Chains A and B, each alone.
Chain A
Amino acid sequence: MTPAPPRGAGQYGPGLLTLLLLPAGLLYIVLFGYPIGALLARSVQDQHGFTVNHFTRLFSQPLYLTILEHTLRVSLIVTAICVALGYPLAFWLTRLRGVAFSIAIACLFLPLWTSVLARIYAWNFLLQKAGPINRLLVSLHLIDAPLTLLYTDAAVITVMTHVLLPFMVLPVYAVINSIPRDLGRAAQSLGAGIASEFRHVLLPLSLPGLLAGSVMVFVIAMGYFIIPALVGGPRSLMISTLINEQIMTVLNWSFGAAISTLLLFAVLVVLALFARTLAVARRAEGGA
């Protein structure tokens, strides 16, 4: 005879739960909650006490507004390119079999397993004035003289797309893969062409994955530091490089903290909108 479990099967008592959670919980509070909280507090302080001057300055000077707009624009472009490249790629992956599938997946995961700095370094070489891309373009007579590719927005967008594309492909792939193939066949048997099958079956059902991938790419792009720092133009700062400049070079910690607070706020707004959209979509699905 099996004795009754002391508590509900597999339930831990409050003492054990506390003990197990204590170290990680303390680390989260002391090493994450506290420093981030201190950063946020710093953004509304100067040597005299509470102030909102840093935010007023951030929103009133055209220079900073230009940087904010520039960051948003670059992040949106990267997200759009990742959609255009990632969505077809994800769909294609769901239709591959055997060796072709294994090779394609390996190609997708290889960048994820490679040091980001090694990838930036490779791009740094490729995009140089005397680099392979310029040489190729010149030898094909597409351009007369080598172009300035490195230290431009185009370089930032290219490298960010390269680094972030897998983050778009993986969620879209997961969603498309879970759509029953019968749906497509049903649409075809009812006379739907590829275009209308895509528009009425595939796209609506894969939208949550596309949205998840886009949000992830957009949010990471907005706060990416090392890519604009290494391949971006010295005159076209992004939020992250502006923060770095204020904290490490200008040594205006409070203003740097205010910009960080704004970035964090923007990221949280995007994530909250995403969560809401998903909840609304799920409710609509449940009601239908």
Chain B
Amino acid sequence: MTRSGPFLTLSVYCTLILCFLVGPILIIIPMSFTARDFLEFPPSGYSLRWYVAYFSDPDWTGPTLFSLKVATLSAIASTVFGTMAALALVRGRLLSNALVNAMVAAPMVVPSVITAVAFYMLLTRLRLLGSTVGFVLADTILTLPFVIFPVAANLQRIEPRLEWTALSLGASRFAAIRLVTLPLARSGIAVGAAFAFITAFDEATVSAFISSFEGKTLPKKMFEDIDWSLSPVIAAVGSLLTLVSILTAILLALLRSGTRSTPAHDH
């Protein structure tokens, strides 16, 4: 091949870029197993002490459980309301309107520091800073577009006539949606729900503003600790989070290939 020379150069360049992308993430995993009181790479001794420290310290487990609770509640809310909205937007042919599209995308587009300040002012006035309600409200609106877009994309591929066939066979509109359309859209809904959960769980900017001393999420706790100390506990937390994300990604990929190969009747 005449082009193998330049292509080889390109391959070397791009491999280096991939190392830049992945290296810092992979480096924290061995670091989290260090036996020492401070970070070093490569660690001179290995232990699980920082994982033990993480799981036994209420200052870490508290925010973790709080994040799980808030992300779960807001992912449920945005999955339900987002799926309903996506149905209306697709069947009402509203999504082809550029203005509607922009409005739906707005929470993703507006810089998160602005949303954070807006929420901080609102929740301060409502005395909801650091509360479960405050976080669930904030995370629900932030994650709605992450549900609406994948669900709408999935619905657009579903033949609308399937639903009225069910209607013509005597099903009610709600039964037709619930028994025909939603099962067909479930891979879009699953992707949307996973995006919503991960986005809410990982949300750091709004958290940095609307947390309080008692009510803070895991990203806020990590933010404070990176700012004040560089304890290896954060490496342990980071490694665990990376592991969970990779497992979620694999699960989603399996789910997608599963829905593609099996028809919808095995519900």
A95 part of interface (Cβ distance < 8 Å): yes
Stretch at the interface among A52-60, A174-182, A200-208, A263-271: A263-271
A190 within 8 A of B: no
Interface residue count on the B side (C-beta < 8 Å): 84
Determine if B238 and A115 form an interchain contact, defined as CB atoms under 8 angstroms apart.
Answer: yes
**When A31-B138, A226-B208, A271-B109 are in contact, do A10 and B223 touch as well, CB less than 8 Å?**
no
CA distance A3 to B112 in the complex (A): 51
Within 8 A of A (CB), among B208-251: 208-209, 219, 222-223, 226-227, 230, 234-235, 237-239, 241-242, 245-246, 248-249
- A93 CA to B11 CA in the complex, in Å? 10
Asked if A65 is at the interface (CB within 8 A of a chain B CB), the reply is: no
Contacts of A95 in B (CB 8 A): 7
**Docked complex Cα distance between A243 and B27 (Å):** 33
Give Cα distance in the complex from A89 to B92, angstroms: 40
- The answer to whether A16 and B204 touch (CB under 8 A), given A24-B81, A115-B238, A264-B111, is no
Q: How far is the CB of A272 from chain B (nearest CB, A)?
A: 10
Residues of A within 8 A of B222 (CB): 115, 117-118, 121
Q: B39's closest neighbor in chain A, by CB?
A: A125
A24: nearest chain-B partner, CB-CB? B85
Q: Identify A2's interface contact among B6, B168, B202, B223, CB under 8 A.
A: B168
Hey, which chain A residues are within 8 Å of B91, CB to CB? Answer: 10-12, 17
Q: Provide a sorted-by-A list of 19 A–B residue pairs whose CB atoms are within 8 angstroms.
A: A10-B159, A10-B160, A17-B88, A24-B85, A27-B81, A36-B118, A88-B13, A113-B248, A114-B238, A116-B202, A121-B226, A121-B235, A122-B238, A123-B24, A125-B28, A125-B39, A230-B227, A248-B209, A256-B117
Using a CB–CB cutoff of 8 Å, the interface residues on chain B facing chain A are 3, 6-7, 10-11, 13-14, 17-18, 20-22, 24-25, 27-28, 31, 39, 41, 80-82, 84-85, 87-89, 91-92, 103, 106-107, 109-122, 137-138, 140-141, 144, 148, 159-161, 163-165, 167-168, 173, 198, 202, 204-205, 208-209, 219, 222-223, 226-227, 230, 234-235, 237-239, 241-242, 245-246, 248-249
Chain A residues close to B by CB (< 8 Å) = 2-3, 5-6, 9-12, 16-17, 20-21, 23-25, 27-28, 31-32, 34-36, 38-39, 42, 85, 88-89, 91-93, 95, 104, 107-111, 113-126, 128, 132, 162, 165-166, 194, 219-220, 222-226, 229-230, 240, 243-244, 247-248, 253, 256-257, 260, 263-264, 267, 271
Pairs of residues from A and B, 4 with the lowest C-beta to C-beta distance, nearest first: A10-B160, A223-B111, A118-B238, A24-B85
